[in-house]
Every structure is written in C-alpha cells, then in structure tokens.
Amino acid sequence: MDKIRIHGGRALSGSIKVSGSKNSALPILAATLLTKDPCTIRRVPDLSDTNYMLQILKHLGAEVERASGTVTIAAAKIDSIAPYDVVRRMRASVCVLGPLLGRCKEATVSMPGGCVIGDRPIDLHLKGFEALGAAVRVEGGNIKIFAPKLKGAVIDLKGKFGPTVLGTDNVIMAAALADGTTVIDDAAQEPEVVDLANFLNKMGAKIEGAGTRRIIIEGVKELHGTEHDIIPDRIEAGTFLVAGAICGKGVTIKRAEPSHLTAVIDALQNCGYRIAVEDKSVSVSPNGAAKPLNIATECYPGFPTDMQAQMCALLSTTRGSSSITENIFPQRYMHVAEMKRMGAHMELEGATARIEGVDQLLGAPVMASDLRASAALVLAGLKAEGITEVSRVYHIDRGYEHLDEKLSELGAEIERVKA
C-alpha cells in the first residue's frame, strides 16, 4: 500500500487549481441513469470514488467513455440490480437507488455497510421512497424497492442530525419521474444538491427551490441527455486554505467558488488569517499570531463536517485553547489519536474535541482511517518537525485529485512512496 512521506516545516506559497467536486460528481453521474440519451459531464475529478461510480454504471449496463475530466455516459438499456461486489467499496453508491427507482420503478442495491466516521443509516432515503409509493424490503443484505407507480408526495427529510444530503438527492431523482408534485421539506441545502438539481433541470426535470429548505419537484414523463460542468470542490478548496494557513507565506486557491466557502473563510479570519477573495479565487496569508477558536460543525451554510479534521490539525498548533464540536457525525474523530502521536494536545469529551495548541508537532508514522482524517494528517505533517509518513493512502485517493502533486507545487516536500 502506498504511503505519503512529508518532510515538514517547509513554507508553502503560490497557487493551485481546485478540481471538480467529488460529492457533486457522484450523484450527478448516478443521475445519468435517468435517461436513455447520452450525457456529457465535465470536470469529473479522477478519484477512486468517481471511478467506482463509473464501474457501477457500467455494471448496470451503461456505456461509459472517459477522456481526462470529461465523461460521457449512455444508459440506453439498464438493469436495476447492483450487487454487493459492485457497491461495497463506496457508501455513496447508495445514490443509484433514486435514479433506478425513477427510471425502472424498481431497484435492488446492496445495503451500505458501516463506516469509520460513524453509524450511517439510510432510513430517511427509504422513508422518502415509501412516501412516493414504493415498497421497501431489506433482504439478504440488499435493499429491494419496488413501485408499480411513483406518485408525488409531501416528505419531511429531517433526521436526528439534521437534513440528509444524499437522501435529498435520492428523493429528488426518484421524484423527477413521478406522477404529480413532490415537496421535500427540511431538504439539504448543500451546493452539491443545487448542482444536481441544475443538472436534472437541464435534462428536462422541473425542480425549484434547490439551495433552500423546501424543494418542489413537478414530475415529468421523461428526461433527455445534456451536458454539464461539475462545480468546484469546496472541501478540497477548504483543505488547501487550511494548508496555506498552517504553514503558508501566501497561498491562492484558483478555480474555486468563494461563495461556497463562507464558513471556512469566516473560521480562518476568526483565527486571525488574512483572506482575499476574488471572482474565482481565495488567498490566505498569515497576519501576526494566529488565535484559538471554538467552532461547531453544522449543515450548509454552517462549518462543514468534511473540514472538521483539517481544522483540528490547524488548531493543534495554534496557541491557546480551542474546541470543535461535531454535530453531524459525532464519532468522526479517528484523526485525534493519530495527531496525539505527533504531539498534539487534544482530548475528546463526547462529540467535542478540546485542543490546547502546542508550538510544534513532531513527525511520526501515522495511519489514515478515512478520507478527511487522512487529509488532516497530511496537513499536520506539513507543519511537523521531521518526517511524517501517512499510510493507507487509498483513503486520500478516494477524494483528493493529486493531493501530493498539488502540495509539491506549493513548495511542500512531499512524496508518494510506492509499496
């Protein structure tokens, strides 16, 4: 298994370009199943997660062509069964359920397993499908959904930890081809949901309100092929902004969408960093001593859970007492034990990490456990004295396109060590 080796302490400067959003690309690729016509999607990041999704689409019968970041998918004829072997590697494969149900009026997809960031139920997705008139059964580890007819309904998708992103996506995709009007209350407002709705509207769907808590979908008889550009990845952009903050002289993130980064920008400004925003770029630079911060993750537009681990890395070397409370995935703290091995002072109290900033982290061999935790360990390694080796790099490859190369461009001493 590959490792990433970082010689810490190098100051970062310069600029990098953000890739297309993983979490937009996954449901949008799945949504191409809703039409027989070809769809062309641009700015699809080259990640193991997007590649898994393309494999699933091929397994279901779609023809897939990929030329760099542009993917053309033609799902003229599809099967509605996605078995365990095909979907087990990625939890987000659950987002084929909505399009299969919409198009085929039935779907059998292996139930996603546990996940290192905590319990990840799909009860809200299933509640939405049932409200549209589908019968749902879990049998032999598979979810079987069947609906002779889908009928618009009023559905509240709020769960114990707030709205659900992929649940909202799934219900929108199924409802796009239902009879009548569907209203989703307490819908997720994330930019990735808006990107999906924009894509579906280009395919001929009638969706209003994406980006607000109430989404209204007027079902149509069929959808047609279209072209679409995936939005910039706000979590990748945020991760590079934190990299710039943690050891930068001045770092600029280009091809970004600054309006999607407000919570991360606010957090960095509250820590004392200087931020400059232009049309499609954001720059971060030091501005005297950084300040500690108390912050909590929230659904969009709040501070994203997908940036919590990276923020832990930053605050671990910011003098003073900081805290981060994780409200979306309360157990998403696998990085804490590894950062402590690098000399960080942090303790967990329930879903809150209490952090006492240290002057210096020390490089160490550390183990990546999930995507964002791995990114956080790389950030900690950039700051640490000496050498940090992050193993299990496949977690990083799930969600960051060429992370090591982009950090090298900024001046980091980082290399991928092939196993």
The residue from 186, 195, 236, 306 that contacts ligand EPU (CB under 6 A) is: 306
Q: Is 282 helix (H, G, I), strand (E, B) or coil?
A: strand
Least Cβ distance, residue 349 to ligand EPU (angstroms): 19
The residue from 28, 56, 165, 410 that contacts ligand EPU (CB under 6 A) is: 165
Least Cβ distance, residue 385 to ligand EPU (angstroms): 29
Give ∠ CA 240-116-368 in degrees, rounded to 5. 50
Nearest-angstrom CA–CA distance, 91 and 123: 14
Nearest-angstrom CA–CA distance, 166 and 124: 10
Annotation marks residue 115 as catalytic: yes
For residues 161 and 116, the answer to whether their CB atoms sit within 8 Å is no
Continuous H helices in 261-411: 262-270, 308-316, 334-341, 371-383, 394-399, 403-409
Q: Does 160 bind ligand EPU (CB under 6 A)?
A: yes
Q: How many CB atoms lie within 10 A of CB 347?
A: 11
For residues 351 and 344, the answer to whether their CB atoms sit within 8 Å is no
Secondary-structure percent of the chain, ordered helix, strand, coil, rounded to 5: 35, 30, 35
Q: Does 146 bind ligand EPU (CB under 6 A)?
A: no
Q: Give me the catalytic one of 39, 115, 299, 312.
A: 115
CA distances 252 to 230, 283, 372, 375, 406, Å, are 21, 4, 21, 18, 12
Residues 317-376 that bind ligand EPU (CB under 6 A): 328-329, 371-372
Least Cβ distance, residue 179 to ligand EPU (angstroms): 24
The amino acid that residue 354 corresponds to is: R
- In the complex with ligand EPU, the residue whose CB is nearer, 160 or 418, is 160
Print the binding letters for residues 389-418 with ligand EPU: x by CB under 6 A, - otherwise. Answer: ----------x-------------------
- In the complex with ligand EPU, the residue whose CB is nearer, 166 or 210, is 166
- Find out whether the peptide bond into 301 is cis, omega within 30 degrees of 0: yes
Nearest-angstrom CA–CA distance, 317 and 298: 24
- In the complex with ligand EPU, the residue whose CB is nearer, 23 or 35, is 23
Strand stretches in 116-273, DSSP E = 135-139, 142-146, 154-156, 181-185, 206-208, 215-218, 227-229, 248-254
Print the binding letters for residues 109-128 with ligand EPU: x by CB under 6 A, - otherwise. Answer: ----------xxxxxxx---
Residues 236-255 that bind ligand EPU (CB under 6 A): none
- In the complex with ligand EPU, the residue whose CB is nearer, 306 or 338, is 306
Q: How many residues bind ligand EPU (CB under 6 A)?
A: 26
| Sequence-ordered list of residues with C-beta below 8 angstroms from that of 121, at least 6 positions apart, any chain | none
Q: Choose the binding region for ligand EPU from 39-47, 158-166, 273-281, 338-346 (rule: CB under 6 A).
A: 158-166
Print the binding letters for residues 15-34 with ligand EPU: x by CB under 6 A, - otherwise. Answer: --------x--x--------
Least Cβ distance, residue 127 to ligand EPU (angstroms): 8
The amino acid that residue 151 corresponds to is: K
Residues 35-94 that bind ligand EPU (CB under 6 A): 92
Closest CA to 240 of 6, 10, 403: 403
- In the complex with ligand EPU, the residue whose CB is nearer, 38 or 163, is 163
- In the complex with ligand EPU, the residue whose CB is nearer, 114 or 288, is 114
- In the complex with ligand EPU, the residue whose CB is nearer, 297 or 317, is 297
The residue from 108, 110, 142, 164 that contacts ligand EPU (CB under 6 A) is: 164
* Residue 24 φ then ψ, to 5°: -85, -45
Locus of tokens 């590649």:
51
The residue from 166, 196, 373, 396 that contacts ligand EPU (CB under 6 A) is: 166
CA distances 126 to 97, 339, 370, Å, are 10, 37, 26
For residues 259 and 243, the answer to whether their CB atoms sit within 8 Å is no
Least Cβ distance, residue 285 to ligand EPU (angstroms): 27
For residues 173 and 98, the answer to whether their CB atoms sit within 8 Å is yes
Q: Choose the binding region for ligand EPU from 1-9, 33-41, 132-140, 157-165 (rule: CB under 6 A).
A: 157-165
Q: Choose the binding region for ligand EPU from 164-172, 267-275, 386-394, 407-415 (rule: CB under 6 A).
A: 164-172
Least Cβ distance, residue 76 to ligand EPU (angstroms): 26
- In the complex with ligand EPU, the residue whose CB is nearer, 122 or 155, is 122
Residues that bind ligand EPU (CB under 6 A): 23, 26, 92, 119-125, 159-161, 164-167, 188, 192, 305-306, 328-329, 371-372, 399
Residue positions annotated with a catalytic role: 115
